[in-house]
Amino acid sequence: MKIDDLIENKAFTGYMLCNEAIFRAAIESDVKIASFYPGTPLSEILNVFSEGLNSLDYKMEISINEKVALETAAGGAMAGLRSITAMKSVGLNVASDTYYSLAYTGLNGGMILVVGDDPSCHSSQTEQDGRTFAYNGYIPMLEPSDPEEAYNLVKIAYKISEKFKTLVLIRTTTRVNHYSGLVKVKEYKRNPFQRVSWTSEPRKFKTVGSFAREKKLELMEKFKEIEKYVETLEFNKEIKKDSKIGIITSGISFNYVMDAINQLNLNISVLKLTTTNPLPRNTIRKFAENLEKLIVVEELSPFLEVKIKAMVKDFKPNLEIYGKLNGYFSESFEYSTSIVVKALCKIHDIEIPFNYDGYESRAIQTREKLPPRIPTFCPGCPHRATFYAVQRAIKGEKLAIMNDIGCYSMLIFPPYEMSEVLLDMGSGVGIGTGVSQSIEEPVLCVVGDSTFFHATLPAIVNAVHNEDDIKILILQNAVTAMTGQQLHPGNFKKAGNQKAVGIIIKNVVEGFGVKNVKLMYPFDNTPQWIDSIKEILQSKGPSVIISNGTCALHADRIRRRRGEKRPPYAVDKDKCKKDYSCIRNFYCPAIMIDEKDRNAVISAELCNGCGVCSNLCPHGAIYKTEGGS
**Average pLDDT, rounded, for the chain:** 93
pLDDT of residue 410 exceeding 90, the answer is: no
Mean pLDDT of 52-73: 96
Residue 363: which pLDDT band, with cuts at 50, 70 and 90? confident
**pLDDT of res. 202:** 67
**pLDDT of res. 221:** 96
**pLDDT of res. 189:** 95
* 246 contacts 271 by C-beta, under 8 angstroms: yes
Which residues, in sequence order, are bridge partners of residue 444? Answer: 401, 471
Q: How far apart are CA 527 and CA 541, in angstroms?
A: 25
Q: How far apart are CA 621 and CA 618, in angstroms?
A: 8
Element spanning 272, H or E: strand 269-273
Alpha helices (runs of H) in 231-369, residue ranges in sequence order: 252-264, 281-288, 303-315, 337-348, 356-369
The SS3 of residue 14 is strand
- Which of 140-149, 198-207, 537-546, 606-615 bottoms out in mean pLDDT, i.e. has the lowest? 198-207
User: What tens digit of pLDDT does each residue of 255-313 get?
Assistant: 999 999 999 999 999 999 999 999 999 999 999 999 999 999 999 999 999 999 999 99
Mean pLDDT of 33-60: 96
User: What tens digit of pLDDT does each residue of 571-591 get?
Assistant: 999 999 998 989 988 999 999
Residue 526: which pLDDT band, with cuts at 50, 70 and 90? confident
Mean pLDDT of 45-52: 97
* 63 contacts 32 by C-beta, under 8 angstroms: no
Mean pLDDT of 242-258: 96
Count of CB atoms within 10 A of residue 587's CB? 17
**pLDDT of res. 369:** 85
The SS3 of residue 276 is strand
Q: How far apart are CA 389 and CA 524, in angstroms?
A: 12
Residue 204: which pLDDT band, with cuts at 50, 70 and 90? confident
DSSP category for residue 20: H
- The β-bridge relationship of strands 443-448 and 400-402 is parallel
Mean pLDDT of 501-523: 95
Q: How far apart are CA 190 and CA 158, in angstroms?
A: 15
Q: How far apart are CA 621 and CA 614, in angstroms?
A: 7
Residue 211: which pLDDT band, with cuts at 50, 70 and 90? confident
Mean pLDDT of 607-622: 92
DSSP category for residue 317: T
Q: Which residue has the higher pLDDT, 512 or 359?
A: 512
**pLDDT of res. 199:** 82
The SS3 of residue 446 is strand
**pLDDT of res. 628:** 64
Q: How far apart are CA 385 and CA 389, in angstroms?
A: 7
Q: What percent of the chain clears pLDDT 90, i.e. is strictly above it? A: 81
Q: How far does the chain reach from its first CA to its final CA, in angstroms?
A: 25
Q: How far apart are CA 79 and CA 195, in angstroms?
A: 9
**pLDDT of res. 528:** 86
The amino acid present at 272, given as its one-letter code, is K
Q: What percent of the chain clears pLDDT 70, i.e. is strictly above it? A: 99
Task: Give one word for 120, left, alpha or beta, with left for phi > 0 and alpha for psi -120 to 50.
Answer: left
**pLDDT of res. 504:** 96
**pLDDT of res. 367:** 82
The torsion of the CA quartet 240, 246, 248, 249, rounded to 10 degrees, works out to -90
Domains defined along the chain, listed by start? 3-196+203-230 (3.40.50.970), 237-364 (3.40.50.920), 382-559 (3.40.50.970), 567-624 (3.30.70.20)
Mean pLDDT of 74-83: 96
* 41 contacts 172 by C-beta, under 8 angstroms: yes
* 504 contacts 422 by C-beta, under 8 angstroms: no
pLDDT of residue 629 exceeding 70, the answer is: no
- Which of 181-195, 326-340, 400-414 bottoms out in mean pLDDT, i.e. has the lowest? 400-414
pLDDT of residue 627 exceeding 80, the answer is: no
* 240 contacts 290 by C-beta, under 8 angstroms: no
Mean pLDDT of 109-119: 97
**pLDDT of res. 141:** 98
Residue 459: which pLDDT band, with cuts at 50, 70 and 90? very high
Q: How far apart are CA 622 and CA 569, in angstroms?
A: 7
Residue 568: which pLDDT band, with cuts at 50, 70 and 90? very high
Q: How far apart are CA 232 and CA 35, in angstroms?
A: 31
Length of the chain: 629
pLDDT of residue 203 exceeding 80, the answer is: no
Mean pLDDT of 177-188: 97
